[in-house]
Amino acid sequence: MPARVAAMVQKVSEIVGTSTEGFARAAENAVKTAAKSVRNLRWFRVTELEGSIKDQKVLEYHATVKVYFDLES
């Protein structure tokens, strides 16, 4: 299992991911997007779970996550 922290200092970014399947996929999509712009991602924590509704049905699940990534020294 990976370490939560591998550098002296980490930065935290808050991102909202979306998925039609469920909350874990929505969180995964948030992480995927974060991975495009920052390196050394280590951990995420869910801060909110929401969903949009259309025609009286759940359209998409949203997961707001805080992602933690190591700052390179």
C-alpha to C-alpha distances, 50 to 16, 18, 23, 30, nearest whole angstrom: 10, 9, 9, 14
72 binds a copy of itself (CB under 8 A): no
Q: Could you tell me the two tokens for 14?
A: 């808050």
Rounded least distance, CB 20 to a copy of itself, Å: 10
Footprint of a copy of itself on 2-31 (CB under 8 A): 2-18, 21-25, 27-31
Please give the helix or strand (H or E) that residue 28 lies within, else none. Answer: helix 23-37
Binding region for a copy of itself (CB under 8 A): 1-18, 21-25, 27-33, 35, 39, 41-46, 48-54, 56-62, 64-68, 71
